[in-house]
Amino acid sequence: MDYKTLLGQILDKAAAAEGCAEAIETPSDAALGDYAFPCFRLAKTMRMAPPKIAQELAQKIEQPAFIAKIEAVGPYINFFLDKAVFAENTLSTALEAGENYGRSDMGAGKTVVMDYSSINIAKPFHIGHLSTTALGNSLYRIYSFLGFTPVGINHLGDWGTQFGKLITAYKLWGEDACVDEGGIDYMMSLYVRFHEEAEKNPALDDEARAWFKKIEDGDEEALAIFQRFKDMTLREIGKLYDLLDVHFDSYAGESFYNDKMQPVIDELREKNLLVESEGAQVVELTEYDLPPCLILKRDGTTLYATRDLAAAFYRKNTYNFYKSLYIVAYQQNLHFKQLFAVIDKMGYSWAQDMEHVNFGMVSLADGSMSTRKGHVVKLKDVLEQAIAKTRALIEEKSPDLADKDSVANDIGVGAVVFSALSNGRIKDIVFDWDRVLNFDGETGPYVQYTHARCRSLLRKAGNGYDYACADYTALDNDDALAVLRQIESFPDAIVRAMTKNEPYLVTRHIVHLAQYMNKFYYDHRVIDDDREKTAARLMLAEVTANTIKTGLYLLGIKAPDRM
Ligand code: ARG
């Protein structure tokens, strides 16, 4: 149990109150203690002025072992931790839990569906897909660590008239060998050629429509060609997923819902929610302050929203989710508001359990990127560059390192992923090489480096230190306390990251942990002649390394032992 909760219970008892823990603050000024309780909320029940209450309670409270001093200052009761006891409690708890420190079963029996990455077939995987992939992967790990049952879904963009165009182009100019070799790039070039030629020869558009109709009608040849494009895309992007260590439980995409939309459309009709508007069928959403949601086009064909509607029902029926998350850029805010509103209007209260986990744009510091102008920055290129740059740095700084390639992979990929998870989701990100790979900034490599440095200290110390004899007065200083507090509050940071669907709360937490640990390391000798004190300091290093490693794991990043 954490200290706030414990202090809260003690206060509840002394004041015959409830919920005191919620009001406990952590003062930024160390002179005001490590925890402070404002007494205002007790004024009514205790019928006294808050400063008087503070005085009285400060006297009355049973002082727990982890508290060294209790002080009443004005309306506040300030608690000062006994640093050595705090160190012992924190370190032994964390060490015993090992890799499971921060793990919980709070989500037992609850399924959380997550729709992330959700790529489009025959389109390049560009840096704009980094956020959804990194966020989704991290949330998957965080929910799972907290005992939830996550279901990761890659809602493939595998439906639409563009595939008719692609087949037309393929039939006219495509070569099988090129598809196998050129992959997505080749498919893109076919697509581009189609648009160029269709400007001169509009009959191509009719042909494309005809091919798309064939896909819709289940024509064997059309489906076979389309399946080929799909397999090719997934094979190519699968390599990236492997590199990123990202996985999915389902690849059910838009086409999966072809035969699952009709029942939903029927239900909308039965509930009198479908309204005709300029020949199309829409659901009015005025009471939600939203424009109408288009369900069927004038020619009776379905839309992105129709498929998402069917997908929402399918997910509810299949997984009976506790939450259903859509990790998709904020450009689709309106789409998801409409989707949730339609389901709410149909009378399903679980509409409230769906959440659009939105995020900002990624752009490059050296000029913006635009898909239309063909300036796509492929994630593959970014990762490969990051790995190559790291490899060069390693060659320069640690020429003797074993496994250079695998370490360069872990650091290069980690740096890119870390940069995507460093700020609140909704902020637009400017991707800047120098910053991302900087070993001193608030970066992935910096945190990984701190982890490796702790491991190296432990290797240097060897096995001769008995933690059972540790003398925790070695940690009775503010530098150690800063590290310890960061360790102690780590489980809480994970829960907050889950509640807000904000992995950056874990990122920030381990960045600070690394900074505090480095400060401690610069200002204090870790290994000296005093074996008991050294044991305590080594424990601090070990638990710090474990905590950073778990934190990185939750972000989807590896923590090499040497670098
Ligand atoms: N493929 C879509 C895109 O690239 C994202 C799909 C998100 N998921 C969903 N269920 N709509 O924009």
- The CA 129 to ligand 1 mean position distance, Å, reads 11
Measured from the CB, is residue 88 less than 6 Å from ligand 1?
Answer: no
Measured from the CB, is residue 502 less than 6 Å from ligand 1?
Answer: no
For residues 407-415, average pLDDT:
96
Grade residue 366 by pLDDT with cuts at 50, 70 and 90.
low
The closest alpha carbon to 187, from 207, 168, 209, belongs to: 168
Grade residue 3 by pLDDT with cuts at 50, 70 and 90.
confident
Catalytic choice (83, 126, 451, 549): 126
Ligand 1 pocket, mutate which of 116, 248, 261, 328 (most atoms under 8 A from CB):
328
- The CA 349 to ligand 1 mean position distance, Å, reads 24
Grade residue 367 by pLDDT with cuts at 50, 70 and 90.
low
The pLDDT value recorded for residue 370 is 46
The pLDDT value recorded for residue 30 is 83
269: Cβ contacts below 8 Å, ≥ 6 apart: none
- The CA 136 to ligand 1 mean position distance, Å, reads 13
Measured from the CB, is residue 155 less than 6 Å from ligand 1?
Answer: yes
Measured from the CB, is residue 339 less than 6 Å from ligand 1?
Answer: no
Ligand 1 pocket, mutate which of 155, 336, 376 (most atoms under 8 A from CB):
155
pLDDT in tens, 139-195: 999 999 999 999 999 999 999 888 999 999 999 998 888 888 888 999 989 989 999
Element (H, E) at 81: strand 76-81
Whether 533 sits among the annotated catalytic residues: the reply is no
Grade residue 371 by pLDDT with cuts at 50, 70 and 90.
very low
- Residue 370 class from Cβ within 10 Å (0-12 exposed, 13-18 middle, 19+ buried)? exposed
The pLDDT value recorded for residue 362 is 82
- Residue 324 class from Cβ within 10 Å (0-12 exposed, 13-18 middle, 19+ buried)? buried
Burial 329-346, CB ≥16 within 10 A → b, else e: beeeeebbbbbbbbbbbb
- The CA 461 to ligand 1 mean position distance, Å, reads 51
C-beta separation of 32 from 76 below 8 A: yes
Count the alpha carbons within 13 Å of 109 in the hemisphere toward its beta carbon: 0
pLDDT in tens, 449-471: 999 999 999 999 997 789 999 99
* Beta sheet of 274-277, edge-to-edge order: 274-277, 280-283, 293-296
Which atom of ligand 1 is the closest one to the Cα of 332? 12
Which 3-state string (H, E, C) describes 313-330?
HHHHHHHCCCEEEEECCH
What is the amino acid identity at position 390?
A: T
Measured from the CB, is residue 131 less than 6 Å from ligand 1?
Answer: no
Catalytic choice (129, 155, 323, 533): 129
Catalytic choice (13, 69, 83, 123): 123
Which atom of ligand 1 is the closest one to the Cα of 328? 7
For residues 540-560, average pLDDT:
98
- The CA 208 to ligand 1 mean position distance, Å, reads 23
pLDDT in tens, 191-207: 899 999 999 999 999 99
* 356 vs 236: CA distance, rounded Å: 28
Measured from the CB, is residue 118 less than 6 Å from ligand 1?
Answer: yes
C-beta separation of 98 from 46 below 8 A: no
The pLDDT value recorded for residue 217 is 86
- The CA 12 to ligand 1 mean position distance, Å, reads 49
Q: What is the average pLDDT score of the chain? A: 93
Whether 126 sits among the annotated catalytic residues: the reply is yes
* 77 vs 54: CA distance, rounded Å: 6
Measured from the CB, is residue 115 less than 6 Å from ligand 1?
Answer: yes
* 510 vs 56: CA distance, rounded Å: 39
Greater confidence (44 vs 517) lies with 517
Measured from the CB, is residue 308 less than 6 Å from ligand 1?
Answer: yes
* Statement: residue 374 has pLDDT above 70: no
pLDDT in tens, 64-120: 999 999 999 999 999 999 999 999 999 999 999 999 999 999 999 999 999 999 999
263: Cβ contacts below 8 Å, ≥ 6 apart: 313
Greater confidence (3 vs 138) lies with 138
Measured from the CB, is residue 117 less than 6 Å from ligand 1?
Answer: no
Which atom of ligand 1 is the closest one to the Cα of 308? 10
Whether 323 sits among the annotated catalytic residues: the reply is no
- The CA 120 to ligand 1 mean position distance, Å, reads 8
Grade residue 441 by pLDDT with cuts at 50, 70 and 90.
confident
pLDDT in tens, 15-72: 999 999 999 999 988 889 999 999 999 998 899 999 999 999 999 998 999 999 999 9
- The CA 380 to ligand 1 mean position distance, Å, reads 20
Burial 379-415, CB ≥16 within 10 A → b, else e: bbebbeebbebbbebbeeeeeeeeebeebbbbbbbbb
pTM (two decimals): 0.93
Among positive and negative, which fits the CA dihedral 485, 486, 488, 494? positive
Tokens describing residue 259? 């035969």
User: Percent of the chain beyond pLDDT 70?
Assistant: 98
* Statement: residue 372 has pLDDT above 50: no
* Statement: residue 369 has pLDDT above 60: no
Measured from the CB, is residue 150 less than 6 Å from ligand 1?
Answer: no
* 13 vs 9: CA distance, rounded Å: 6
What is the amino acid identity at position 182?
A: G
- The CA 114 to ligand 1 mean position distance, Å, reads 12
